[in-house]
Amino acid sequence: MTQLSQTVILITGASGGFGQELTKQLLAAGSRLILTDIDETVLRQRVSEIQQQVKTGEVLACFATDLSTSAGCETLYHQVKALDIPVEILINNAGIGLFGRMDEVPQDKWERLMQVNLLSPMRLSALFAADMITRRQGHIVNMSSLAGWSAINGMAHYAASKFGLRGFSEALYQELKDYNVKVTAVYPFFSRTPILESERFGTLAKQFQGFPEDLVTDPADVMRATIQGIIRNQLHVFPDKTAKTVHLLKRYFPQLLDWVNAGFGRRLKRGDSK
């Protein structure tokens, strides 16, 4: 079991929908947090709002970091090291989205997505895992997505990043288990976070009529289930009903899942919430 009380946890993407819920719930659990996001002003504002509600736990530091570059990841690592407080849990939560047919998305847009969603967790894991291996204690959490198991049209780049993160997490688990370093990968369905408002491009963007409101999940519920998965040292965490169902269909009834995904694609075009 991974303990949370008094545990030092680094959360990337802490200003986002999942990041805010992680901050709130982990402070309530008595954790000591190091938080980072690209805009320090926004990050500190979010933290201040949360701390007005939650009086337990501690925020040790807030850092503004651009994780879309190797230099940004290294800068964050050195900023954290300068605190001289070992990170016990690294939560690679930062992520961005986009929507559009593969050939109609500008190259600089999808390359940045790959940097943030896949390469930054790999870079940060490599940096912090070395310290965890030395101490023979630690936990790395990668926020993947249900899109890391099942891809739909308009999300080729996003799915590639999340499929990659799933594979990386599985291999990381095998490489670190002998050093008492735990690994958890999380696969949420679409939740009520800013990623639903990601940039859209080209033909599919013109057809897109909105995400069906009845399908989105509550980020508070999703992160509550995520934290339980972390505590239990689960490698794979499916934190909502849709994620659990789609995962099972993918494994045992892939042709049925293809039919389900086709229907979901039609709903996105209609904007139908029924």
pLDDT per position as a tens digit, 200-219: 999 988 887 767 777 799 99
Distance CA 154, CA 208 (A): 10
Look up residue 164 and give its two tokens: 């990659």
Segments in the chain below pLDDT 50: 271-274
With a threshold of 0.85, does the pTM exceed it? yes
Q: What is the fold of 8-270?
A: Rossmann fold (3.40.50)
Distance CA 237, CA 240 (A): 9
Which residue in 119, 97, 123, 124 sits closest to 109, CA to CA?
97
Domain segments of the chain as ranges: 8-270
CA of 91: how far to CAs of 63, 135, 150, 185, 227, in Å?
15, 18, 23, 10, 11
Name residue 100's beta-bridge partners. Answer: 201
Radius of gyration of the chain (CA): 18
Which residue in 136, 11, 120, 123 sits closest to 61, CA to CA?
11
User: Which residues, 6 or more positions from 244, have their beta carbon under 8 angstroms from its beta carbon?
Assistant: 238
pLDDT at 272: 44
pLDDT per position as a tens digit, 41-92: 999 999 999 999 999 999 999 999 999 999 999 999 999 999 999 999 999 9
pLDDT at 111: 98
* Region class of 210: left (phi > 0), else alpha (psi between -120 and 50), else beta: left
